[in-house]
Amino acid sequence: MKKFLMVLGILFLLGAVGVFALSKIDFNRMNASNYYLQITEDGVQHETKLDDGSVMNSYSYKLDATNADGETLPLEFTAQKNLRKDAYLKMYVKNGDEVSSYDEVKFEEIPEKAQEKLK
């Protein structure tokens, strides 16, 4: 009985740690390459009509991004809102050119070689 309760306690602990890890880990950013870009134009608006009759807007962008080594890559991505002009973004890229996520960053947070390309 003692061993059963110990095994049950360990399984509960592993489950709790697993749930906590799943809630804190962003799988969209895991194993992704980082590229940087500046929003220079408004996105192209797309309207999608949902089943309940409401309309959802999204905005698509096609911009060149630069990594920390200064290599440039054209990226296509969408956002749920029209992004602020002149904002700098850190793009998380997987499978060559697939944007999985992004964050707005300050110019000073961008690596030096990428800063030179973005000026």
CA 78 distance to own-chain centroid: 11
As a whole number of angstroms, the distance between CA 63 and CA 89 comes to 11
Share of the chain above pLDDT 90, in %: 48
Six-digit token string for 74: 């054209």
Six-digit token string for 17: 């740690």
Each residue's pLDDT tens digit, 67-111 = 999 889 999 999 999 999 999 999 999 988 889 999 999 999 999
As a whole number of angstroms, the distance between CA 110 and CA 119 comes to 11
